[in-house]
Amino acid sequence: MAESDTCRLLGFPDGFLWGVATAAPQIEGGLDLDGRGESIWDRFARRGGVAGGLGALEACDHYRRWEEDVAHLADLGVGAYRFSVAWPRVFPTGGGRPDRRGLDFYRRLVDALVKRAVRPAVTLYHWDLPQALQDRGGWANRDTAYRFCDYAATLFRHLGADVPLWMTHNEPFVVAYLGHVTGEHAPGLRRPWLFARVAHHLLVSHGLAVRAFRQLAPAGSRIGITLFLWPQQPASDRPADVAAARRADAAVNRWFLDALLKGDYPADVRRYLARRLAGPPVRPGDAELIAEPIDFLGVQYYSRVVHRADPWNLFQGSRQLPPAGPTTAMGWEIYPEGLYEVLTRIHRDYGPVPLYVTECGAAFDDRPAADGRVHDPQRVAYLRDHLVQLHRALTAGVDVRGLFVWSLMDNLEWHHGLDRRFGLLYVDFDHGRRRIPKASFAWFREVVRQNAVAMPGPAGGGEDE
């Protein structure tokens, strides 16, 4: 892991796992194929919650074009591919008997990846709850946690041995907050008092799945969860702003980190939520269940949030300031140091849990140039600057085992629809969904090949090769 003066290469440890990530509802399409059931995102799109409507959910048509996408992965040379399984393909109505066709799709995908030495890293829940379960209360109903455990166990039995990395949930904070407080995500509810309840059931379902995994999964496979971990910072050192940022940090970050890694919710936010909204419906044994030891934690980092105290905000008593510096097409501030802050913070406050950065990436307004190629120097700079911060964290002794770029390809960015382009592959949604490798694709291929990042400068090479 040496930094060479001559070629200005920032080297990563041997065995560092380089990957890219996607999620089923963002790429698969094929909504009516092979018996897939309705998901909460289908219903949400039908009701106008997604820019571009239901048609946008056809996304990258990956369900039909998966072999082409696997070929791109092999070309990229990554050691791992993180994707999610669509629960409504495996259990179209949320329970009962699994649908063989859904299981077979993921079996074929896993086999093709293994054949090309790309390790599958599977997320079980990346936000596409079967609508039938939502009709029975969704994550606000504790029963959904047990249905999730059955679904997880089915996948462990079916694919267990060939999937070295399993993730129960993707960013439970986002499910609880955007899905149930702001209503920007499916199921589109604006019921802030459900936050703690939904978050708790998601974590209970995680604990149940981890226990099932320990019984079922073969040696060699590991299990964890991925968390949305953005620093929440005060706008000033005024005590009210500092308190607001601390509260936001407790709700966004510590709520999940403490429950999973310390075995309890933070007392401050618990009191706060209980007073203003509603606390989590904790039953005896839940704390231990949620804190069931995991093998790794997935860190998902894109930006930070700066808070100004605002007593009128019911949820956290603060409002978010607009970013001061440059932003991505999401309007998210580009703040690479935050990745270092998050990684070192987990190490400092929660001990030596193995970490993977399971998502990191940026949306920009990419477009093919006259030469037909897609030049995306901003994405290259974004990724490089974040890798530098990851490297700093490694040097500081943090146990980071790998990084997955979000995303392999442009895809459905949830309610925003198809025009927030995060991919290393450009997807031409208007013309047959053709994939065009962007300049960042070639750049990342070099990172993977060299297990190192070339730094700009006389000997570092350009970023738009």
Task: Label residue 246 exposed, middle or buried (CB < 10 Å: 0-12, 13-18, 19+).
Answer: middle
Closer residue to ligand FCB, CB minimum distance, 228 or 272? 228
Least CB distance from residue 172 to ligand FCB, whole Å?
A: 11
* 277 or 329: CB nearest ligand FCB: 329
Interacting residue ranges for ligand FCB, rule: CB under 6 A = 23, 26, 170-171, 174, 228, 300, 359, 406, 413-414, 422
Which residue, 16 or 302, has its beta carbon nearer to ligand FCB? 302
Contact present, 382 and 328 (Cβ < 8 Å): yes
The residue length of the chain stands at: 465
CB of 362 to ligand FCB, least distance (A): 9
Smallest distance, Å, CB 128 to ligand FCB?
11
Among residues 92 and 361, whose Cβ is nearest to ligand FCB? 361
Catalytic residue, chosen from 58, 333, 341, 359, is: 359
Is there a catalytic annotation at residue 341?
A: no
For 299-340, the DSSP string reads EE----EEEEE-TT-TTTSEEEPPPSS-B-TTS-B--THHHH
- Minimum gap (Å) between residue 422 Cβ and ligand FCB: 6
Cis peptide upstream of residue 407 (ω within 30 degrees of 0): yes
Nearest CB to ligand FCB, comparing residues 291 and 408? 408
Distance between first and last Cα of the chain? 25
- Beta carbon of residue 272, minimum distance to ligand FCB (angstroms, whole number): 24
Let me know if 171 is a catalytic residue.
yes
Q: Are 252 and 232 in contact (CB under 8 A)?
A: yes
- List, in sequence order, every residue forming a beta bridge with 436; answer none if it has no partner: 426
CB atoms within 10 A of CB 404: 27
Torsional sign, CA 45, 46, 48, 54: positive
Q: Closest CB to ligand FCB among 12 and 301?
A: 301
Query: Between 23 and 208, whose beta carbon lies closer to ligand FCB?
Result: 23
Q: Are 84 and 152 in contact (CB under 8 A)?
A: no
Residue closest to ligand FCB when measured from CB atoms? 23
Q: How far is the CB of 397 from ligand FCB (least distance, A)?
A: 27
429, HSE (Cβ side, Cα atoms, 13 Å): 21
Which of 28, 38, 58, 171 does the annotation list as catalytic? 171
Residue matched to tokens 């995306």: 376
Tell me the C-alpha distance between 231 and 248, whole Å: 9
CA pair distance 395, 343, nearest whole angstrom: 12
Q: Which is nearer to ligand FCB, 10 or 26 (CB)?
A: 26
Contacts 24+ apart (CB under 8 A), 182-187: 184/414, 184/415, 185/44, 185/49, 185/127, 185/414, 185/415, 186/39, 186/40, 186/41, 186/43, 186/44, 186/49, 186/127, 186/129, 187/40, 187/43, 187/44, 187/129, 187/134, 187/138
Least Å from the CB of residue 332 to ligand FCB? 9
Q: Please, what is the minimum distance in Å from the beta carbon of residue 1 to ligand FCB?
A: 28
CB 167, CB 248: distance < 8 Å: no
Q: What share of the chain is helix, strand, coil (3-state, %, to 5)?
A: 45, 20, 40
Please state whether 85 falls in left (phi above 0), alpha (psi between -120 and 50) or beta: beta
Q: Name residue 382's amino acid.
A: Y
Q: So which residues are the catalytic ones?
A: 171, 359
